[in-house]
A and B are shown apart, each in its own frame.
Chain A
C-alpha cells in the first residue's frame, strides 16, 4: 500500500499530473494577462516528453556524478514530501509525529539541488545563479520558520494530522489574526520557493541565461522541470493544510479543496505577473526586514492569544 501511495497517488502520478496542469494554468493566465492566447493544455506534458528524447550533455571538468545527482535529489525530495502531505490529508492517522518538520526539511532540498547543480556546472553564469539562490534561501527561511512557530503556538503539535483535526474542531487557522498574518507571510515565501517572480533571481532569464540550469539538457533537465511542476502542487497544498483546513475526500470536501487550490494558484500567478523581479540585495532586505517583522507580529499576536 505504501508503494501505491508513493508511485501513483498522492505521490508520483497524481502530483505530477496536477503539477503539469498547474504549470499550464500559470502559462495560460500569464498569456491572457498579456493579451495573448497561451499554450494548449498538454503543452507542459509534451515539453517534458520531448526533453526525454534529447541527448544529455555533461560539461567536462565539472563533477560528473554531482551534475547527474542534483536533479534526482530535487525530484525525490519533492516526491516524498508530496506523498507524506497527501497521505496525511487522506487519512489523519497515517501520519507520524514530526512529519511537518520532515516535509519542511524536504522542501528545502530542491533549492539545495539547484545550488549543487549550478556549482557542478563549471560555468560562471551557473555559479552566479547558485550563489543568488543560496542568499535567497537564507533570506526566506527566517520568516517562514517564524510563521510556522506562530502556528505551532496555537496547535501545539508537529504532526500534520493534528493540524487538520485542530482546524476541523476549532476553525481554520487562517481566520485568526495571527493566522492571517502568517498566511500572507508564507504565501510570498512559497512564491520564492517555487521560483516565481518577483523572486526568480536564480533563473533570471534575461540576465543569467537560465542560471544554475544552464548546462542541463535532456533527462536531467526533465527531472528538474518535473520537480518544479510538482512543487506547484505541493506548496499550495501545504498552505491549505496549514491554514485553510486541509483536504478531505468525499463530495463537498473535494470540491472545496479544488476551489481553494485554484484560488491560491491564481494569487501566485497574479503576483507573478504584476511585480518586477527583485535584485538579490532587495530580496534579502525584503525578507529579513519588513517580512520578518510581520512574521514576528503574527507570533506575538499568537502568544497573546489572538
Chain B
C-alpha cells in the first residue's frame, strides 16, 4: 500500500519480483486483491487525504496479517515530517511488524524484512 509515496520504494519492491532477486522461490507472490494478501508492504507517508482510505484498505486484509514498513518515509516520515499534509508515522495508524529503512531500501533488504516478518508468525 502506498499512501503517498514517491514510488521509488514501489520500484524497488517491483524489483523483488524480477529474475535477479526472484522472490517466488520463497513462496512469495504478488496477489491481485487485498483479501488474498498476508503481508502488507507500506511505502510512503500517510497524508490527510489518504488516511481514511488507508485504514480501510488495511481492514480489508484478513487476519492474520503482517505489516512491513518499507523505506524511511514509512518508518519515520523522514524529510516530510514537518509537512502541512503529514498526519503521523505509519505505526501510529496501523501496527507495524518490521521496519526496513533506506531511501529506497535495496531489494535484498526488503526481502530480508519480509522473511523476518514471516518468522515472527512461527
Q: Which residues of A contact B (CB under 8 A)?
A: 27, 31, 34-40, 43, 46-47, 50, 53-57, 203, 205-206, 208-211, 213-218, 221
Whether the Cβ atoms of B19 and A215 lie closer than 8 Å is no
**A53-B64, A54-B62, A217-B62 in contact; A39/B32 too (CB < 8 A)?**
no
Whether the Cβ atoms of A213 and B24 lie closer than 8 Å is no
CB distance from A226 to the nearest CB of B (A): 15
Whether the Cβ atoms of A35 and B19 lie closer than 8 Å is yes
Contact partner of B35 (CB less than 8 A), chosen from A27, A40, A217, is: A217
CB distance from B106 to the nearest CB of A (A): 18
The complex places the Cα of A213 from the Cα of B33 at a distance, in Å, of 9
CB distance from A225 to the nearest CB of B (A): 10
**A54-B62, A54-B63, A217-B62 in contact; A36/B25 too (CB < 8 A)?**
yes
The complex places the Cα of A56 from the Cα of B36 at a distance, in Å, of 11
Whether the Cβ atoms of A205 and B32 lie closer than 8 Å is yes
Whether the Cβ atoms of B33 and A38 lie closer than 8 Å is no
CB distance from A55 to the nearest CB of B (A): 5
**A203-B32, A214-B33 in contact; A37/B24 too (CB < 8 A)?**
yes
Contact partner of B24 (CB less than 8 A), chosen from A31, A57, A209, is: A31
**A203-B32, A209-B32 in contact; A40/B27 too (CB < 8 A)?**
yes
Interface of A, helix, strand, loop or mixed by DSSP? loop
Contact partner of B27 (CB less than 8 A), chosen from A39, A55, A210, is: A39
- B15 contacts the other chain (Cβ, under 8 Å)? no
Q: Which residues of B contact A (CB under 8 A)?
A: 19, 22, 24-25, 27, 30-33, 35-36, 38, 60, 62-64
CB distance from B118 to the nearest CB of A (A): 11
The complex places the Cα of A6 from the Cα of B36 at a distance, in Å, of 30
Whether the Cβ atoms of A38 and B25 lie closer than 8 Å is yes
The complex places the Cα of A27 from the Cα of B31 at a distance, in Å, of 14
Q: Which residues of A contact B36 (CB under 8 A)?
A: 210, 213, 216-217, 221
**A54-B62, A217-B62 in contact; A46/B27 too (CB < 8 A)?**
yes
Give me 18 A-to-B residue pairs in the complex whose CB atoms sit less than 8 angstroms apart, sorted by A's number: A31-B24, A36-B19, A36-B25, A37-B24, A38-B25, A39-B24, A39-B25, A47-B27, A53-B64, A54-B64, A55-B62, A56-B62, A57-B62, A209-B33, A210-B31, A210-B35, A214-B32, A218-B62
Question: Which A-chain residue is minimally distant from B31 (CB atoms)?
Answer: A210
Whether the Cβ atoms of A210 and B24 lie closer than 8 Å is no
The complex places the Cα of A216 from the Cα of B32 at a distance, in Å, of 11
**A31-B22, A210-B33, A217-B35 in contact; A43/B27 too (CB < 8 A)?**
yes
Q: Which residues of B contact A54 (CB under 8 A)?
A: 38, 62-64
Whether the Cβ atoms of B24 and A36 lie closer than 8 Å is yes
